Amino acid sequence: MALLFRDNGSTGRVKANHHDEFGIDGVDYTYAVAHATLTAKTSYRINFDEYGPLTAAISGNTSRNFRVGIATEATTTGNIARLAVRGYFSSMVTPSLSVSVGHSLNLSGGAIGDGGADYGSLPAEFAVCTTATSSATHCCVYLPGKYITASG
C-alpha cells in the first residue's frame, strides 16, 4: 500500500513514499508520481527529488542515478504509479527486439536494446531476458532491482 502525502510547502505536489512493497507474487514494487500518462507494462525511469520518486521517459534521458521500473497499470499525470522494480515480469513492452535468453536489456543513448551478452557486463543494463524473442515487441524479463549509476 502506498503512503501518499502532500508537501508542507506552497506547491501542493503529491509525494510518493521511498519504500518498496514486497509482493506476495515474488515481485517487488515501488511507487512514484507519474510525470505523464503512463502505459501499462512499459518501462520508465524512476528519478528522485525533494518530492520523492518521480517517473520519467527512458528515451532521450541520460542523467545518472536512477532505477528502471515497469508500470503495472495505466496511470494519469500527477497520480501515484505502481512500478515493478525487482522480480519476474511477463510481457514488458519493448521496441522490436531479437534477444537471446540470458541477455541483458540495456539502456544506450536513451533507448532500450539487447545488451548482446549475458547479464552482468554493462553499466546501464536493467533486466535479464527470460524468453527468447525474435522481432518481438514484448519480452519476459527478470528485474534485478539495480540502480543505474552510469549513463548508457
| Residue that finishes a domain, picked among 41, 59, 86 | 86
Position 77 scores a pLDDT of 94
Q: In this structure, are 59 and 98 located in the same domain?
A: no
Write the pLDDT tens digit of every residue in 80-98. 999 999 999 988 988 788 8
Confidence (pLDDT) at 81: 94
Pair 92, 73 in one domain = no
- Nearest Cα neighbor of 104 from 87, 91, 119 is 119
Q: What is the pLDDT of residue 42?
A: 93
pLDDT value at 10 more than 60? no
Domain interval for residue 58: 5-86
The model's confidence at residue 17, banded by pLDDT at 50, 70 and 90, is: low
Q: Please report, for the domain that includes residue 43, its CATH number.
A: 2.40.300
Indicate whether 66 and 92 sit together in one domain: no
15 in any annotated domain: yes
Cell triple for 53: 520518486
Is 80 exceeded by the pLDDT of residue 148? yes
Q: Is residue 30 part of a domain?
A: yes
On whether both 80 and 69 belong to a single domain, the answer is yes
**Total structural domains in the chain?**
2
Residue 112 CA, distance from chain mean position:
11
Which of 64, 86, 108 is the last residue in one of the domains? 86
Within this chain, do residues 82 and 114 fall inside the same structural domain, yes or no? no
One domain for residues 131 and 95 = yes
For residue 110, is pLDDT > 70?
yes
20-79 per-position pLDDT tens digit: 778 788 899 999 999 999 999 999 999 887 778 899 998 755 566 889 999 999 999 999
Q: Please indicate, yes or no, whether residues 19 and 73 belong to a single structural domain of this protein.
A: yes
> Positive or negative, the Cα torsion across 117, 123, 129, 130?
positive
90: burial class by Cβ within 10 Å (0-12, 13-18, 19+)? exposed
Are 79 and 94 members of one domain? no
